[in-house]
Structure 1
Amino acid sequence: MRFNPKADISGGHVTDVRGGGGSRGGGLGNLPMGAISGGGIGTTIVVIIIFVIVQLAGGGGGLGSAGPQETTDRYDKCLSGADANKSEDCARKAVELSLESYWAKVLPAQTGKQLQPTQIKTFTDATSTGCGNATKDVGPFYCPTDQTIYLDTTFFNDVLEGQLGGQGGDFVEPYVIGHEFGHHIQNLLGTMGRVRTQQGPTSDSVRLELQADCYAGMWTRGATGTTDTKGVQIFQAIDEQDITEALDAAKDVGDDYIQRRGGGDVNPEQWTHGSSEQRMRWFTTGYNATNINQCDTFSTNNL
């Protein structure tokens, strides 16, 4: 993965926050990576329940506040693609801008729906969100209530590589962010409202997660065609090694893999995100797709 040194990444919607770690609400629980109402890499059930509760309550400001948050200067020096090639933080900004560029074109062209930007908030230890309090144990997730992706960046070393044995690589985080951005697309399209069943090999939760993997694959294929606000290409190259890293990450967050890794039996009735094979296959489906309808996991019996 390499960014175009001339790309302007000074804009976008990535911030880092500190504070707001306590919570009056019950919190999100221990999620493996996903979305609070649409799952993510390993989070769905709690999120969906929270989303329903918040909507029934009038769609207000979440499940409890936790004191003020302060925005840090973590991303202030991320100005160009050259910075993104040298810094993981700046690469995160470039990836977010690329996702915005891609979906701003594809979404209206293929669905008639305009993109409403999401934002990425990175944090350390804990933070408050529109879906409740989150700690670093939650893993990356998307909250539909405030349309924000939350990410404790220690997840990749501590959990994905340390606990789950992933091989790592510089395209792992872009795959994860692409997956979470996929949940935002689902939120905009109303797909999250279709989720009724939350566990099992053909549950709506599994379908939601596999679709987000498919959307991540679509963006990955189109990423080198994305541009900054001046029309300058953001990605210079995404190679086969990057695809291999994305597929390895998808394998590592499969329900069956996590169950085996934890020393238990594989029980599909407890699945919320799909097997390793399914997650890899739907990412690949998206990578080869020519239309977003090819990611319709809700209309197929072949998950």
Structure 2
Amino acid sequence: MAFTITPISLIALSITSKSNAQELPPDQVIQSMYAGVANIHGYQAIPKVYRPIPPGFNTSCGPMVKLNAFYCRRDHSIYISIPMVRWAYQYGDAALAYVIGHEYAHAMQNVYKFNSNNGPISELQADCLAGFYMAAVQNLVFDNRDIAEVRSFAYALGDFSNVWTEHHGTPKQRVAAVTFGMRANSPVRCKL
């Protein structure tokens, strides 16, 4: 299943935590975050989003790994696996918004040549940009519980393998990067 968001008016949505109110369904989180971030960039260079994708689904960048979300430069698309959506929702709907922001950040890094490095610096920069996007989108509101969801999920996504080619940063680095981005007043502040 694929979709492309076009400029639309969205009613102000509130992403809330489990203890606050009913969480938004994944499609609504994905579409709202995607539209909000696309609006920041004036709907230029918008990647397609394919979700939820079953493990093994063939993308232009190879088969979908079970627990993954990624930006594929070959077809300028974002792919999100079903298990990744489920894992994010174990932390809350704001965690899924963070995943969307992170992958959208990779698309913008590529389009605007923000950082072509594929190492941990690029990943932490994408975390920072995801935080900036979450704070800047006008069609979503994140409360303190949502921020805690994002920080907890960022920590869970961290790793310690400096030799692994897909190293994204340690748990503390990922939390620091997304938190810094939420406080940044410009995406340029995320340039590492």
The TM-score with structure 1 as length reference comes to: 0.52
The aligned counterpart of 2:147 is 243
Residues in 2 aligned to 1:213 and 1:180: alpha-carbon distance in whole angstroms? 9
The aligned counterpart of 2:92 is 169
The aligned counterpart of 2:5 is 12
Residues in 1 aligned to 2:95 and 2:114: alpha-carbon distance in whole angstroms? 25
User: Which one of the candidate residues 13, 32, 41 is aligned to 1:94?
Assistant: 32
The 8 Å contact of residues 160 and 252 in structure 1, kept in 2 or not, is answered as: no
In structure 2, relative to structure 1, the CA distance for the partners of 1:11 and 1:184 (3 Å cut) is closer
In structure 2, relative to structure 1, the CA distance for the partners of 1:275 and 1:143 (3 Å cut) is same
Shift of 1:240: 0.6
In structure 2, relative to structure 1, the CA distance for the partners of 1:187 and 1:275 (3 Å cut) is same
Shift of 1:241: 0.7
Residue 105 of structure 2 is aligned to residue 182 of structure 1: yes
Shift of 1:278: 0.7
In structure 2, relative to structure 1, the CA distance for the partners of 1:192 and 1:129 (3 Å cut) is farther
The aligned counterpart of 1:147 is 76
The TM-score with structure 2 as length reference comes to: 0.80
The aligned counterpart of 1:290 is 185
Secondary structure in 2 aligned to 1:182? Answer: helix
In structure 2, relative to structure 1, the CA distance for the partners of 1:95 and 1:285 (3 Å cut) is same
In structure 2, relative to structure 1, the CA distance for the partners of 1:215 and 1:80 (3 Å cut) is closer
Shift of 1:270: 4.0
Structure 1, gaps ≥5 residues long: 1-9, 14-78, 105-113, 162-166, 196-203, 226-233, 257-266, 298-303
Residue 131 of structure 2 is aligned to residue 207 of structure 1: no
1:247-258 paired onto structure 2 within 5 Å: 247-256=151-160
Shift of 1:102: 2.0
Shift of 1:269: 4.1
Residue 131 of structure 2 is aligned to residue 217 of structure 1: yes
Structure 2, gaps ≥5 residues long: 16-22
User: Which one of the candidate residues 50, 54, 73 is aligned to 1:121?
Assistant: 50
Secondary structure in 2 aligned to 1:154? Answer: helix
The 8 Å contact of residues 141 and 149 in structure 1, kept in 2 or not, is answered as: yes
1:51-70 paired onto structure 2 within 5 Å: none
The 8 Å contact of residues 29 and 96 in structure 2, kept in 1 or not, is answered as: no
Q: Read off the aligned partner of 1:12 and give its amino acid letter.
A: I
The 8 Å contact of residues 124 and 173 in structure 2, kept in 1 or not, is answered as: yes
170-179 or 183-192, larger mean C-alpha shift = 183-192
Residues in 2 aligned to 1:192 and 1:270: alpha-carbon distance in whole angstroms? 19
Residues in 2 aligned to 1:253 and 1:215: alpha-carbon distance in whole angstroms? 16
The 8 Å contact of residues 186 and 192 in structure 1, kept in 2 or not, is answered as: yes
Q: Read off the aligned partner of 2:144 and give its amino acid letter.
A: E
Residues in 1 aligned to 2:54 and 2:164: alpha-carbon distance in whole angstroms? 30
Shift of 1:289: 1.1
CA RMSD of aligned residues (A): 2.7
Q: Read off the aligned partner of 2:152 and give its amino acid letter.
A: D
In structure 2, relative to structure 1, the CA distance for the partners of 1:153 and 1:241 (3 Å cut) is same
Aligned length: 177
The aligned counterpart of 2:60 is 130
Q: Read off the aligned partner of 1:140 and give its amino acid letter.
A: A
In structure 2, relative to structure 1, the CA distance for the partners of 1:126 and 1:222 (3 Å cut) is same
